[in-house]
Structure 1
């Protein structure tokens, strides 16, 4: 399973989805998906953490957080909001 790096997403930046890079360790591919998750023991209700994913790592990153019960949803990078991150 691919482990992610700690990259944060600044959804308020003027750059578009093509400027986002996959969060999987060692991957520099353009991110097309956002894996949104929350660890309820660490994060307050309503907090949404985001890992970005390319097409190749979308499933492995989602599976990684889903296995721990942290997965909220997977959306397209273009669907991220200010509440994400």
Structure 2
């Protein structure tokens, strides 16, 4: 588990589980097409958060946290 000072936790309300997934999204009314905001998700909340963003047309990509971090390097 990550240490408290650098813990990467799920974005679901009230969840304190370690994040495993990155949900990249953007609101086309507010952001340029290439801008990506991110939510983090544990395995339990990945589908729920994805559906929330997907229904609104905001969800752009869902990737494992390790893959997302590798892209940044």
| The 10-residue stretch of structure 1 (73-82 or 62-71) with the greater mean CA deviation from structure 2 | 73-82
Alignment of 1:54 with 2:33, yes or no, is: no
TM-score, length-scaled by structure 1: 0.72
Within the candidate set 13, 21, 32, 2:20 is matched to 32
Q: More helix per residue: 1 or 2?
A: 2
Unaligned runs of 5+ in 1: 1-14
The RMSD of aligned alpha carbons is 1.1
Which runs of 4 or more aligned residues in structure 1 lie more than 4 Å from their structure 2 counterparts after TM superposition? Answer: none
* Residues 63-74 of structure 1: pairs in structure 2 closer than 5 A: 63-74=51-62
TM-score, length-scaled by structure 2: 0.83
Unaligned runs of 5+ in 2: 1-5
